[in-house]
Copies of this chain bind each other. A is one copy, B any other.
């Protein structure tokens, strides 16, 4: 975190500041993120933050990138450890819900919150978010397509549509888990995709039997 009360040189402490920024931004929004408050949390002066990121916007962009890294570590990589195909799709969805359930971020999901926040605000931050979101959906579609090509899903499957459905279930889980019963939200998000995949997948042994 800080060294001798200073923000300190080196990428390590810098990324610690970004970790805190991700948490704070998920809570109060990327725009509501106050440099003064972030500095207070880190035990560092506001000017110190300005020394590293010359503007608030630069800090916001860096925060988005850090959130992408976390998403990569906690969701994409665990998903990719599963064998390709429906099991990988399922593992990815599972990892995403597990990440929400772990309550690493107080507001649920960094990207869901900020994407909605910047829906109608043109600018560099929105562009970055849109790019990240585009990469995410492209990734999802690629996984679905690979699954179809591997014969684990019917050949006529509408790939973008299924990718859309998978993402929609995740988004809804992030929202409902904070506003209503979290366990029900996670259970529904899981069960819904499981039903969908089981209905499509010709090989029933590739997916778990059922959920409690």
Contact = CB atoms under 8 A, between A and B. Distances in A.
Interface of A: 26-29, 31-32, 106-108, 112-113, 115-117, 119-121, 129-130, 133-134, 137, 158, 160-161, 164-165, 167-169, 171-176, 178-180, 184-185, 188-189, 191-192, 195, 199
Contact of A171 (B120, B158, B172): B172
Contacts of A168: 168-169, 171-173, 189, 192
Given A116-B108, A120-B107, A164 B180 contact: no
15 contacts: A27-B120, A106-B120, A107-B120, A108-B116, A116-B174, A117-B117, A119-B179, A120-B178, A129-B179, A161-B191, A164-B176, A164-B189, A168-B168, A168-B171, A171-B171
Given A29-B29, A160-B188, A178 B113 contact: no
A130 to B, nearest CB: 5
A178 B130 CA distance: 9
- For the residues of A in contact with B, the DSSP-based class is helix
Contacts of A28: 120-121
Contacts of A29: 29, 31-32, 117
Given A164-B192, A172-B168, A188-B160, A119 B32 contact: no
Nearest to A185: B164
A189 B160 CA distance: 11
A56 B167 CA distance: 35
B161 A192 contact: yes
Given A129-B179, A168-B189, A199-B199, 15 more contacts: A28-B120, A29-B31, A32-B32, A106-B119, A107-B119, A108-B119, A113-B117, A119-B179, A161-B191, A164-B188, A168-B169, A168-B171, A168-B192, A171-B171, A172-B172
A178 B119 contact: yes
A180 to B, nearest CB: 6
A206 to B, nearest CB: 20
B164 A172 contact: yes
